[in-house]
Structure 1
Amino acid sequence: MIDLRSDTVTRPTSAMLEAMFQARVGDDVYEEDPTVKALEEAAAARFGMEAGLFCPSGTMTNQIAIKAHTQPMSEVICEQTSHIYLWEVGGIAFHSGASVALLPGNRGRLTAAQVEAAIRPDDNVHYPITQLISLENTHNRGGGSCYALPEIEAIAEVARRYGIPLHLDGARIFNALVATGQDAREYGLLFDTISVCLSKGLGAPVGSVLLGSRAFIHKTKRIRKVMGGGMRQAGYLAAAGLYALENNVERLADDHRRARQLGETLAAQPYVAEVLPVETNLVIFRLRDEQPAGAFLEYLKQNGIIASSFGPQMIRFVTHLDVTDEMLARVTEALGSLR
């Protein structure tokens, strides 16, 4: 099967597996795993930040950051289709007891004016206190949309002026960096904390790293522990993340190229009503009403292709390191043969 459901479905390559087998390990709860330390340091250095915290998932890194930044009766500002709100099981309420200010974005992207207008005055006891601003780049529901750096700089300026921390859900941040040519270290200057996922486009089997100041990361270790994220000989997993950082970033351009090709093919099909602009490795499109989404997915499956429903009449394709040009040709043929 050609699996276009997500870039999380990849399997480690033989070279990545070898790096995992050769990893030096220790007990990370005792801070004695050298490979975990190496991964945390390497990820932090890429973004010019002081420290990192290795966790099993991006949901955990995001929720740990939110918990550390906020208190009950506070509020998080984010876009209304943000992963931290829609796809993390109500974790903001469950873990942090915080409210959420949901703003309508342009394919998931907010403006500085929107953010500033949503900040609560702290002298009114009827309101929660704004304690965190969170952005997502690339934005999943926005079809892999990317922020332009000046847009982030303007939001960061608002955050600094009001003394509010700025967090980045960077689940696919390397896709954004490759697509835009931006420098990761610029992000380290703009955000207080960044969540970086290793198990999506970079192809590691598991893991994300939360980045921030040394003091902040020290605080978050206790939160990770109470959430059950204290891992022991985690270096075997961290070795895969290190390999991914060192070998699988630049190749994301291939995923983007293949996604653009899929987008062009879909736009030419009479049964497709709309294709969101393709900026990275996500292709989100809407089928015309006369082409039921369930029947479309079944047709793909019969042709050896699986994809995801993404809302009424909406479908998502995701390219990744396990999708080859030969597979792309097969998908293109199947799409063109549907009548």
Structure 2
Amino acid sequence: MIDLRSDTVTKPTRAMLEVMGEAETGDDVYGEDPTVNALERFAAALTGKEAAVFAPTGTQSNLLGLLSHCGRGHEYIVGHTAHTYMYEGGGAAVLGGIQPCPLPFAADGSLPLDAVEKAIKPDDAHFAITRLVCLENTQAGKVLPLDYLQRYSELTRQWGLKRHLDGARLFNAAVALDVPVAQICQYFDTVSICLSKGLACPVGSLLVGDEDAIRSARRWRKMLGGGMRQAGILAAAGLYALENNVQRLREDHDKARRVADALASLPAFTLQAAPQTNMVMLDAATDVESLARHLESDGIRTAGTRWVFHQDVSDDDVDRLIESCRRFR
């Protein structure tokens, strides 16, 4: 089965499993797991931040970021279809008493900065206190330009707001821009990095930031049940991924572009835009339900209008997908 539902479906390679099996471990809640400590140091250095904390999921690492900046009665400005707002169970509101202020994303995946500025609340007891502006990179496979991040950073600093990035696919963005990941992270106070998507770890996420934010996040991690014991087995996969799987993401981007180029000549298909990273986004004009049934009969699993390419989709799989699409009417 070819699975294009998400890059979360990736499985660890034999090489990754081998380093996991050989990992040195200790009790991470006591701060004594050497492999977790090594992963956190490596991630902090890679992103240009002071510290990092290892969490079991991206949902939790995003929540740790929000909780480290915001208290009850605070508000964060966020995209209306952003993961932290739409797909993480309302954790910031339920567990942190943090009110979201959702704004429509622009077509390029950014939050329009004029709309952000208008949404910042005045110092008035009637309103929640605006504390944070959260971005997502990539957003539906789209990469936020560096000049936009510079203007976003200037605006948030002008208003004294904190900056969090849901960087679940941050390395896809860095590879697409051909820049070190730290060049993106410099515009944020905290960044959540998912290890179990394109980087292909079985489990794990990281939050990076300054010492104070990460100290707070580590305390919240314990309260949220994210403190693990001999977690070095999992952290070893993260280290392997950061050392070996980042540049490999280019292959996923190439697969997405190859499929998009093929679909451009087929009348049954309309794309939202040319892919920038590892996602092909079909336009709503495409008969997605009929297409999904057709592809499923050919052993290809999809979910809605988004096709996500990853290490477990081979070049032969891409050929099979294109051929199946050509037979779809």
1:3 Cα deviation after fit: 0.8
Q: Distance in 1 between matches of 2:290 and 2:112?
A: 38
Structure 1 SS opposite 2:206:
strand
Q: Distance in 1 between matches of 2:244 and 2:93?
A: 37
What residue is the counterpart of 1:312 in the other structure? none
Q: Distance in 1 between matches of 2:175 and 2:254?
A: 12
Q: Distance in 2 between matches of 1:236 and 1:76?
A: 35
What residue is the counterpart of 2:202 in the other structure? 205
Percent pairwise identity: 46
Q: Distance in 2 between matches of 1:267 and 1:91?
A: 40
What residue is the counterpart of 1:24 in the other structure? 24
What residue is the counterpart of 1:81 in the other structure? 81
Structure 2 SS opposite 1:8:
helix
What residue is the counterpart of 2:273 in the other structure? 276
1:176 Cα deviation after fit: 0.2
What residue is the counterpart of 2:299 in the other structure? 304
| Worse-superposed segment, 266-275 or 20-29 | 266-275
1:71 matched to 2:71 = yes
Q: Distance in 2 between matches of 1:269 and 1:36?
A: 48
Partners of 1:63 and 1:95 within 8 A in 2: no
1:246 matched to 2:243 = yes
Pairing of 1:41-190 with structure 2 (within 5 A): 41-107=41-107, 108-122=109-123, 124-140=124-140, 144-190=141-187
1:270 Cα deviation after fit: 1.6
Query: What's the TM-score once normalised by structure 2's chain length?
Result: 0.97
Partners of 1:111 and 1:155 within 8 A in 2: no
1:258 matched to 2:255 = yes
Structure 1 SS opposite 2:230:
coil
Partners of 2:156 and 2:163 within 8 A in 1: yes
1:158 Cα deviation after fit: 1.0
What residue is the counterpart of 1:335 in the other structure? 325
Q: Distance in 2 between matches of 1:254 and 1:42?
A: 24
1:319 matched to 2:309 = yes
| Worse-superposed segment, 62-71 or 24-33 | 62-71
Q: Distance in 2 between matches of 1:275 and 1:168?
A: 24
Counterpart residue identity of residue 294, structure 2:
Y
Structure 2 SS opposite 1:167:
strand
Q: Distance in 1 between matches of 2:22 and 2:228?
A: 19
Q: Distance in 2 between matches of 1:152 and 1:12?
A: 33
Question: 1:134-164 deviations in whole A, cap 9, x for unaligned?
Answer: 0000003xxx001110100101011111111
Q: Distance in 1 between matches of 2:274 and 2:222?
A: 40
What residue is the counterpart of 1:4 in the other structure? 4
Partners of 1:111 and 1:151 within 8 A in 2: no
What residue is the counterpart of 2:220 in the other structure? 223
1:94 Cα deviation after fit: 0.8
Partners of 1:263 and 1:275 within 8 A in 2: no
Q: Distance in 2 between matches of 1:33 and 1:323?
A: 34
Counterpart residue identity of residue 11, structure 1:
K
Counterpart residue identity of residue 295, structure 1:
S
Q: Which 5+ residue runs of structure 1 have no aligned equivalent?
A: 310-314
1:286 Cα deviation after fit: 2.5
How large is the Cα RMSD of the aligned pairs? Answer: 1.2
Q: Distance in 2 between matches of 1:172 and 1:295?
A: 29
Q: Distance in 1 between matches of 2:183 and 2:169?
A: 16
Q: Which 5+ residue runs of structure 2 have no aligned equivalent?
A: none
| Worse-superposed segment, 108-117 or 80-89 | 108-117
Counterpart residue identity of residue 97, structure 2:
G
1:235 matched to 2:232 = yes
Q: Distance in 2 between matches of 1:297 and 1:59?
A: 28
Counterpart residue identity of residue 159, structure 1:
T
Structure 2 SS opposite 1:130:
strand
1:266 Cα deviation after fit: 2.2
Counterpart residue identity of residue 119, structure 1:
I
Structure 2 SS opposite 1:274:
coil
Query: What's the TM-score once normalised by structure 1's chain length?
Result: 0.94
- Work out which of the residue numbers 188, 191, 216 in structure 2 matches 1:191: 188
Partners of 1:134 and 1:169 within 8 A in 2: yes
Counterpart residue identity of residue 18, structure 2:
E
Moved over 6 A (4+): none
Structure 1 SS opposite 2:271:
strand
1:183 Cα deviation after fit: 2.5
